[in-house]
Amino acid sequence: MERWKKIGTAVLLTGMLLLPGATGTAQEEVNFKERPIPSLNKEVPSKVARFQSRSDLHFTYPDAVRGIYVTGHSAGGARFDKLLKMVEATELNAMVIDIKDDHGNLTYKPKRDSPYEGISQPFIKDTRMLLEKMEEKQVYPIARVVVFKDTNLAKAKPEWSFTENGKVWSNGGGESFVNPFMKEVWDYNVGIAIEAAKMGFQEVQFDYVRFPEGFEKRDKQLIYNLGEYANSKEDAVHRRVQAVTDFVHYAREKLRPYGVKVSVDIFGYSATLPEAPGIGQNFSKIAENVDVISSMVYPSHWTSYFGIAKPDTEPYKLITEYVKVENKKLKELKTPPLSRPWLQDFTASWLGTGNYRPYGKAEVEAQIRALNENGINEFLLWNASNKYTQDVDYTPLKRKED
């Protein structure tokens, strides 16, 4: 998941590749098999009910989702059982599990006839067993699907990506994006989401639902297809916003027959602007088309914002000020989604002495308390290495009342 900062009035988007404490492996060349992209019109069943009660797995939506992020590596390894025990022993009750990761890999092995077989890195050997373990403990399962940041697909299908000087464009971290204007890309990702729904995941969370950061500075130098948006009368900024919004609407409609909730991760600063000009995110328009909106509001990724000089050192104040803005935006919507922000459970030592503080029990609880005091009871915790703080009270206000 990418991170961002804002310096003065200029937005600086930064990639959190392998920050201190993160885990990961070097990206390997993937043998992408050329197969037809699934036709979603054929995928949508005529009898919807069999998918709404789609398996013998049964999950109950918790009183409020309090979840953690789990990589494919963790979900498929020994660490999963440790994380499950942690969730069981606390007020946590949900896991967001990588199903399609930041490189474009599937993290499980699909069926042999799957069009996605060639992009599988089967960290999770048995998704059924994984979900059965979660069902036994009633841990709410959310499938994370990274959408438009997809180096695998960009290399396999340059015509679905952005090119420069005849080569697929990549950012400073060597990562490539696919083109949100292309409906073929939409279908490719929604097809994976449908697979997750059929497995028994109760919710699909789309991440990287946007253009590359800083796209407004390179949109005229890159070569890419505008697809059906070529004849749009909108300016470049609003055309990007329309494409991103249309994808979210399309994905939700295609997933509706499968009975899963749809959530989207969004940059926290998007709620503070009419729209983010380069990446195509309009907080309100995306929020109108999802069941859950998850803003990434890590204190370490704001700089001199809300009148706070060093936000990472004041987690309670930063989250409080952000939520005031978000709540106002959501109240303006006819059918607002549930708010479930991403919170910080890692130490941002890269900010330098005096600009950060070690994050532990007090800092995590401060963020949760700020949400609770402003009417938000759901949250997700991010730690790239899946090493979460121990002995945290995940329901501070409720505990206080008790």
Identify the structural domains of the chain with CATH numbers, from first to last: 3-401 (3.20.20.80)
Q: Which of 210, 303, 293, 310 is nearest to 252 (CA)?
A: 293
At 171, the amino acid letter reads: N
- d(CA 402, CA 399) in angstroms, rounded, equals 5
At 364 the pLDDT is: 98
At 37 the pLDDT is: 55
Backbone angles phi, psi at 79, to 5 degrees: -65, -25
Q: pLDDT per position in the chain (402 positions), as tens?
A: 444 443 233 333 333 322 223 333 333 344 444 445 555 444 544 344 334 444 689 999 999 999 999 999 999 999 999 999 999 999 999 999 999 999 999 999 998 888 898 899 999 999 999 999 999 999 999 999 999 999 999 999 999 999 999 999 999 899 999 999 999 999 999 999 999 999 999 999 999 999 999 999 999 999 999 999 999 999 999 999 999 999 999 999 999 999 999 999 999 999 999 888 899 999 999 999 999 999 999 999 998 899 999 999 999 999 999 999 999 999 999 999 999 999 999 999 999 999 999 999 999 999 999 999 999 999 999 999 999 999 999 998 876 665
At 98, the amino acid letter reads: D
- d(CA 177, CA 168) in angstroms, rounded, equals 9
Which value, to the nearest 10 degrees, does the dihedral of the CA atoms of residues 256, 261, 264, 265 take?
Answer: -160
The structure tokens 């890692």 sit at 346
Q: Which long-range contacts (CB under 8 A, 24 or more apart) does 57-61 make?
A: 57/131, 57/132, 57/135, 57/200, 58/135, 59/134, 59/135, 59/138, 59/140, 59/141, 59/200, 59/202, 60/138, 61/140, 61/202
Give the global pTM.
Answer: 0.89
